[in-house]
Amino acid sequence: MEKKELLAQVKEKAQQWLNSNIDDTTRKQIEHMLEHDEKELIESFYRVLEFGTGGLRGIMGVGTNRMNIYTVGMATQGLCNYLLREFSDRKEISVVIAHDCRNNSPLFARTTADVCSANGIKAYLFDGLRPTPELSFAIRELNCQAGVMVTASHNPKEYNGYKAYWEDGGQIISPHDVNIVEEVKNISSIDDVKFEGDTSLIQTVGKEVDEKFLATSVSKALNVDLIEKHSDIRIVYTPIHGTGVYMVPEAMRRLGFKNIYNVPEQDVVSGDFPTVVSPNPEESAALDLALKKADEVQADMVMATDPDADRVGIAVRDNLGKLILVNGNQMSVLLTYYLLSQWSAKGLLQGKEFMAKTIVTTELVADIYKNYDIQYFDVLTGFKFIADMIHKYEDELTFIGGGEESYGFMIGDFVRDKDAVTTCSMIAEIAAWAREQGKSLFDLLLDIYQEYAFYRESLVSVYRHGKEGAEEIAAMMENFRSSPPAEIDGSKVVMIKDFLLQKTFDKMSGKEEPTGLPKSNVLQFLTENGTKVSVRPSGTEPKIKFYFSVRGALNSREEYEKVNAALGDRIEAIKEELKLN
């Protein structure tokens, strides 16, 4: 599209907003862009911020391509229209709404409650910021038909978002996701939204739900006696300015852990995230202050949760006593190994249990599943697909737990999304269990590598911003799809999984089989020597992700550094092959 034509389109959209019932501040900002800031006008109006299958996420600001009360209102109106149609036989339809620490989150949550109530839908609104897992829990606890969490998770401070949940406590999936998307698309004007809330239909909720959530979370402990025996384990915890500030340390204290150290600078709740560039526990810089504090107090480990407290990053001491970051795959391995070993030791495995992981998570987790003869599911990236498995089999099978490579894990089925609150408690419990055997968490991880195999993973995110960036990411995916590599890591590619085409291509036999999973724009290349490369555009950020996994044998703890370095070299070589360095 020519710039002249694009500019004409965005001016038309901007004028439609000016002709709508908007506030004076928004009106003045649009008028300023029309007169003085053509570039920002295009970025703000060149498209409509898409209400995708998980909701909204974008930069805050004025315009159709930004997070603001009007895009939030239009999304909520579409959600309400669908709820009113889907639950037309109910006397009362209700939605529970929570928000994180981000700038404008309380405003967007209140806007959501107002629009729901204006449509005759009861809105339970939390009295302050709450973690995402508590929102998921509250949906079923309050017998709601839907839930909304206002959060942009770990995105930079300029972002905010809106995650929609269904009555089972999981994020919306098919067919409700596409149906709600269509309803939102049908909201063509700001004036279609009912913004005037009915206060009689808005009910504040708070401590009573907190108590029930905490009690259920704490009940997932498997070895309370060992926690009591090793209650002096030293833990540094940081919420990185977010919603975990109360709930996470409180859960661990209720379990019995006594030495929990805060990072005062990061206990300050702030959407500006003043101590970090990005509030993402996957990025080592976000843990710098916590690591410094841990050395000051000689802590055994560090935990850090993202702003909505659904993901947790950890650091443990290695065999030299140095604090090292444990990646999301390693964390998932430790949790899976512990849960299954303890369920087995306590005679709880009856053949009717299952676990789940995402397709880009380490295959070491699958190896552990197989060793315990546990039924498991490989699902697309996103905990809504794990939640769907729980919902689908809840009358037949017991869900033990499941996770993904990006620091997300869920224990039990009382929450139907990532749950850093319960996960932090369980990680502390694993540390107590390891100490009972004279080991650290690092020792335990090496033992697992020796028992199974040493898998090493890496992730590269390539960012491309704006309209041109989105087009470049699409072109990259098309190139990998049309011209796939024949060899990776010095080994033949023996299988290609194209989740958009929903087909698995066996390069050795020439056979094609269905993936058995919903459509998703993901490609996977598996080689003869067990290397796996996955390519996936992010659904929430302007980037394309490359996931690498290689494996080797670890015969003794003493070989760790050598084998780890060799596996790292192999990953770097793959990056060179794919021209990502």
* DSSP secondary structure of 459-521: EEEEE--HHHHHHHHHHHHHHHHHS--SEETTEEEEEEEETTTTEEEETTT--EEE--S---S
Q: Is residue 467 part of a domain?
A: yes
Print the SS3 string covering 128-184. Answer: CCCCHHHHHHHHHHCCCCEEEEECCCCCCCCEEEEEEEECCCCECCCCHHHHHHHHH
The backbone region for 311, taken as left when phi is positive above 0, alpha when psi lies in -120 to 50, beta otherwise, is: beta
Are 192 and 241 contained in the same domain? no
Total domains in the chain come to 3
| Domain range for 103 | 47-205
Are 306 and 417 contained in the same domain? yes
Q: Is residue 15 part of a domain?
A: no
Tell me the CATH number at 144: 3.40.120.10
Rounded to an integer, what distance in angstroms lies between the CA atom of residue 20 and that of residue 12? Answer: 13
User: What is residue 191's predicted lDDT score, i.e. its pLDDT?
Assistant: 96
Please work out, in degrees rounded to the nearest 5, the angle formed at the alpha carbon of residue 515 by the alpha carbons of 182 and 580: 85
* Cα Rg of the chain, angstroms: 24
Q: Kindly state the helix (H) or strand (E) to which residue 547 belongs, with its residue range.
A: strand 543-552
Which tokens belong to 363?
A: 């295959």
Rounded to an integer, what distance in angstroms lies between the CA atom of residue 207 and that of residue 289? Answer: 30
Are 330 and 193 contained in the same domain? no
Are 525 and 550 contained in the same domain? yes
Taken in order 466, 469, 474, 475, the sign of the CA dihedral is positive
- Amino acid code (one letter) for 444: L
Are 327 and 302 contained in the same domain? yes
Are 316 and 427 contained in the same domain? yes
Are 436 and 478 contained in the same domain? no
Please write down the long-range contacts of 352-355, taking CB distance under 8 Å and 24 or more positions apart. Answer: 352/396, 352/397, 352/398, 353/397, 353/398, 353/399, 353/400, 354/389, 354/393, 354/397, 354/398, 354/399, 354/400, 355/399, 355/400, 355/401, 355/402
Active-site residues, by number, are 153
User: What is residue 43's predicted lDDT score, i.e. its pLDDT?
Assistant: 93
Are 446 and 463 contained in the same domain? no
Which tokens belong to 203?
A: 């009910």
Are 192 and 55 contained in the same domain? yes
Q: Is residue 194 part of a domain?
A: yes
Q: What are phi and psi of 261, to 5 degrees?
A: -105, 130
Place of tokens 């909204």: 56
Q: Is residue 7 part of a domain?
A: no
Q: Is residue 42 part of a domain?
A: no
Q: pTM for this one?
A: 0.94
Rounded to an integer, what distance in angstroms lies between the CA atom of residue 149 and that of residue 126? Answer: 10
Q: Which of 205, 239, 273 corresponds to the end of one domain?
A: 205
Are 443 and 469 contained in the same domain? no
Q: Is residue 19 part of a domain?
A: no
Are 365 and 400 contained in the same domain? yes
| 175-192 confidence digits (pLDDT tens) | 998 899 899 989 989 999
Q: Which of 451, 483, 512 corresponds to the end of one domain?
A: 451
Rounded to an integer, what distance in angstroms lies between the CA atom of residue 546 and that of residue 538? Answer: 10
Q: Which of 205, 234, 250 corresponds to the end of one domain?
A: 205
Torsion of CA 235, 227, 207, 419, to 10 degrees: 70
User: What is residue 579's predicted lDDT score, i.e. its pLDDT?
Assistant: 85
CA 374, chain centre distance (Å) = 25
Q: Is residue 3 part of a domain?
A: no
Q: DSSP string spanning 51-67? A: -BTTEEEEEBSSSTTSB
Are 406 and 546 contained in the same domain? no
Q: Is residue 5 part of a domain?
A: no
One digit per residue, the tens of pLDDT, for the chain of length 581 reads 577 889 999 999 999 999 999 999 999 999 999 999 999 999 999 988 888 767 899 999 999 999 999 999 999 999 999 999 999 999 999 999 999 999 999 999 999 999 999 999 999 999 999 999 999 999 999 999 999 999 999 889 999 999 999 999 999 998 998 899 899 989 989 999 999 999 999 999 999 999 999 999 999 999 999 999 999 999 999 999 999 999 999 999 999 999 999 999 999 999 999 999 999 998 899 999 999 999 999 999 999 999 999 999 999 999 899 999 999 999 999 999 999 999 999 999 999 999 999 999 999 999 999 999 999 999 999 899 999 999 999 999 999 999 999 999 999 999 999 999 999 999 999 999 999 999 999 999 999 999 999 999 999 998 888 778 888 899 999 999 999 999 999 999 999 999 999 999 999 999 999 999 999 999 999 999 999 999 999 866 678 999 999 999 999 999 999 999 999 999 999 999 998 87
Place of tokens 């084998």: 563
